[in-house]
Amino acid sequence: MHEKNLNITAIPAFGDNYIWLLTAGGTTCAVVDPGAAEPVLERLEDQGLELRYILLTHHHPDHIGGVSGLLEKYAAQVYGPDDKRIPYTHHICREGESVSLPDLNTEFKVLEVPAHTRTHIAFYGENALFSGDTLFSIGCGRLFEGSPAEMQQSLDKLAELPAATRVYCAHEYTQSNCAFALAVEPENAALKARAAEVDRLRAAGEITLPTTLGDELAANPFMRTRAKSVLEAARKIDPAATPGSSTLAAIRVWKDRF
Ligand code: ZN
Ligand code: FE
């Protein structure tokens, strides 16, 4: 993997989605999870960029809805999981494979991270993780097509990446996630600091991403299901909770009705 000037910026869509735009100093680019075409087309036009690659983490409409509109204008290559619900994929991405984007002189590793959806994948490289709706800052995705054990396994897989990894998730949910996380761990100093930073950023109209894996391990209750404080909080929902997936299950249920 090369170290160089990969630039990653957010294109907001639908109020709380981010479509990530990747450039490397030239005139070509990639986008991750374009749920809408319009804001991407506008940005590309503005910056005189040509779309070469589209990376998809999962099949939900707010992540793939813009693909057909983008393909009408650009002959981009589409990379995504093995899922018939995504009809546009040129390159199926499987666990451990590398996605090479030569125009950006960049390579990403594919990680299969099921639970939000059965076929959800993440892309990792250049010190960046595109985690879709699996890992959010101070939260995780809802369990639409997987069990708490699968989400635990998926988050454990992401936790093995270097702590300095920058996490680019697909939604601006951080502020509401912090409110919930503080109910779980009111005494967590790293979380309190993150919540204060997020309040300041949002008040200034700024985005709260990327986060880092290290910060998430310190403050995100879904990455901390083996911490004593999170376990004790989970036992208010499920007295039989043990460290790991049953704690994740309990706080996920709690969050869903928070
Ligand atoms: Zn989703
Ligand atoms: Fe989403």
Q: What is the CATH number of the domain that holds 153?
A: 3.60.15.10
* pLDDT recorded at residue 5: 84
The rounded distance, in Å, linking the Cα atoms of 213 and 192 is: 17
Ligand nearest to the CA of 14: 2
Mean pLDDT of the region 44-49 = 98
CA of 161 to the centre of ligand 1 (A): 22
CA of 58 to the centre of ligand 1 (A): 7
Q: How many CB atoms lie within 10 A of CB 46?
A: 8
**Tens digits of residue pLDDT in 127-158:** 999 999 999 999 999 999 999 999 999 999 99
CA of 92 to the centre of ligand 1 (A): 19
Asked if 167 and 135 count as a contact pair (C-beta separation under 8 A), the reply is yes
Q: Which residues contact 227 (CB under 8 A, 6 or more apart)?
A: 185
CA of 134 to the centre of ligand 1 (A): 8
| 174 to 20, 62, 139, 207: CA distances (angstroms) | 17, 18, 8, 9
The rounded distance, in Å, linking the Cα atoms of 11 and 40 is: 7
**Tens digits of residue pLDDT in 150-201:** 999 999 999 999 999 999 999 999 999 999 999 999 999 999 999 999 999 9
Structure tokens at 255: 């969050």
Ligand nearest to the CA of 169: 2
Band of the pLDDT at 209, cuts 50, 70, 90?
very high
Band of the pLDDT at 2, cuts 50, 70, 90?
very low
> What 3-state class would DSSP assign to 153?
helix
Ligand nearest to the CA of 117: 1
pLDDT at 233 over 90: yes
Among 116, 222, 117, which Cα is nearest to 177's? 222
Catalytic positions: 58, 60, 62-63, 116, 133, 171
Q: Please give the angle made by the CA atoms of 36, 42 and 44, to the nearest 5 degrees.
A: 100
pLDDT at 3 over 60: no
Q: How many domains does the chain have?
A: 1
* pLDDT recorded at residue 4: 58
CA of 239 to the centre of ligand 2 (A): 31
- End-to-end Cα separation, the chain, in angstroms: 42
Beta-strand runs (E) in 102-142: 106-112, 121-125, 128-132, 135-136, 139-140
The domain of 195 spans 3-257
